[in-house]
Amino acid sequence: MKKSEIEIEKLREQIRKGLDLTFQKLVTQKKAQNGIIVLSVKGEIKKINAADINN
């Protein structure tokens, strides 16, 4: 792999980790508020109770 390809792959991994961490924080916050999370699954809108999500 070229140096630029390696840098891009590292950046992608950092972005994935950041998104995972952000989602975990969102779920934790919504659980504390007994809230609902709205997601799009294959183009269909789903409303899920935060308490039903395992992280």
- What pLDDT digit, counting tens, does each position of 2-47 carry? 889 999 999 999 999 999 999 999 999 999 999 999 999 999 999 9
> How confident is residue 55, by pLDDT bands cut at 50, 70 and 90?
low
CB-based contacts of 5, cutoff 8 Å, min separation 6: none
Q: Give the pLDDT confidence score for residue 34 in this predicted structure.
A: 94
Burial of 26 (0-12, 13-18, 19+ CB in 10 A): middle
Both structure tokens of 30 = 């919504």
- More confident: 18 or 54: 18
Measured CA distances, 52 to 2, 10, 14, 33, 48 (Å): 43, 32, 27, 13, 7
